[in-house]
Amino acid sequence: MCECHDVLNKVYDPSEYVYPVGTKKGSTTRYWDCCKPSCSWPEKAPVSEPVRQCGVDGITPLSNYNVKSGCEGGDSFMCSDQRPWAVSEVLSYGFAAASISGLTEKEWCCRCYALTFTSGPVKGKQMVVQVTNTGGDLDDNHFDLQIPGGGFGIFNGCSSQFGTPDEVWGSRYGGVANRRDCDALPEPLIESCYWRFDWFYNADNPSMVFEEVECPKELTERTGCIHK
């Protein structure tokens, strides 16, 4: 079992980094609302194809990108595999909604960024995310990490998608309170809910620095989306 003192005082050797440490300062939050990603709409950006969207099972891709979001009574939802996972002790991959200073959605949809956390128990860890969504409530240089059980935020498509009570998903802002609450989530999402407590150490909106990087194929294989 990890001691809190050891976690908070862990120093990562730069030689452990696979990705560059950025210079742009930013903030993070977390969410999982199950809604169709904004970058799934056609002609949002010059991309190979829009971000993959799924049917109500969270698995079956939908080829008609004009299908209305499940958060608006439609049949399109976030695919359940667009969730975070650990690559190593110091690196994770995942997805995020974002708002980046000086850019528009046309420019950030499906691009990837290396985040190096600068506060909290994950200070020094890195996460590479592909941007699949945006949000009207996001500030500049703000990445809202897609973490199952991380809180709905403004919209909730999860209760209708999975037929679950709202309370299973925790607080609207913040999500589930502890690791054992993850067990009540739909089975495909449980492991990535655990990730928040196991790799991310339940960090609460850590600050970070970021840099654009080439998207790992492990991310683009899940979204089908490559920015041209």
Q: For 107-132, what is each residue's pLDDT tens digit?
A: 999 999 999 999 999 999 999 999 99
Among residues 33, 57, 75, 181, the one annotated as catalytic is: 33
Choose the catalytic residue: 57, 137, 144, 204. 144
CATH number at residue 96: 2.40.40.10
- 190 inside domain: yes
Query: Is 90 a member of any domain?
Result: yes
Question: What token pair was written down for 99?
Answer: 């708002």
Q: Does 47 reside within a domain?
A: no
Residue 68 lies in a domain: no
- Domain count for the chain: 1
Owning domain of residue 99:
16-35+81-223
Is 173 a domain residue? yes
Residue 37 tokens, joined: 């990603």
Residue 24 identity (one-letter amino acid): K
Residue 144 annotated in active site: yes
Whether 65 is in a domain gets the answer no
Q: Is residue 112 part of a domain?
A: yes
Q: Is 81 a catalytic residue?
A: no
Per-residue pLDDT tens over the stretch 158-206: 999 999 999 999 999 999 999 999 999 999 999 999 999 999 999 999 9
From CA 204, how far away is CA 135, in angstroms rounded? 19
Q: Is residue 75 part of a domain?
A: no
**Buried-state track 84-102, b at ≥16 Cβ within 10 A, e below 16:** bebeeebbbbbbbbbbbee
